[in-house]
């Protein structure tokens, strides 16, 4: 996959399921062979990858929620990593 852009609309890839685990107090990404426990930032990003919001929308939500600025570079870098891991896809 090429580098993610702000206009892309990511979603959790088929074969994966994102869910909150109370016992671990973290988002996890489940797939047939196992599970990935996500750090807080990754969980917040992936929880917004619903196939309806663009990356720009997602970044805006994160910046408002966490009262931060300039998150687009970090979000794009993470989505590139997530795409290489096949955790996200682009409808």
- pTM, full prediction: 0.93
Helix (H, G, I), strand (E, B) or coil at 65: helix
Helix (H, G, I), strand (E, B) or coil at 90: coil
Task: Kindly state whether residue 80 falls inside one of the protein's structural domains.
Answer: yes
Task: Kindly state whether residue 23 falls inside one of the protein's structural domains.
Answer: yes
Helix (H) / strand (E) element for 81: namely helix 72-84
The 10s digit of each residue's pLDDT in 40-89 is 999 999 999 999 999 999 999 999 999 999 999 999 999 999 999 999 99
Does residue 2 carry a pLDDT above 70? no
Q: How many domains does the chain have?
A: 1
Q: Residues 20-35, buried b or exposed e (16+ Cβ, 10 A)?
A: eeeeeeebbbeeeeee
Structure-token pair, residue 64: 């408002």
Task: Kindly state whether residue 15 falls inside one of the protein's structural domains.
Answer: yes
The 10s digit of each residue's pLDDT in 11-22 is 999 999 999 999
Confidence at residue 91, expressed as pLDDT on a 0 to 100 scale? 79
Q: Are 9 and 52 in contact (CB under 8 A)?
A: yes
Task: Kindly state whether residue 66 falls inside one of the protein's structural domains.
Answer: yes
């Amino acid at each position: 996959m090429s580098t993610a852009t702000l206009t892309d609309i990511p979603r959790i890839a088929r074969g994966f399921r994102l869910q909150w685990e109370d016992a671990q107090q973290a988002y996890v990404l489940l797939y047939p062979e196992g599970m990935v426990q996500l750090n807080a930032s990754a969980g917040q990003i992936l929880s917004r990858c619903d196939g309806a919001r663009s990356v720009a929308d997602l970044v805006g939500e994160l910046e408002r929620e966490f009262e931060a600025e300039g998150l687009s570079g970090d979000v794009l870098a993470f989505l590139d990593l997530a795409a290489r891991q096949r955790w996200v896809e682009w409808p």
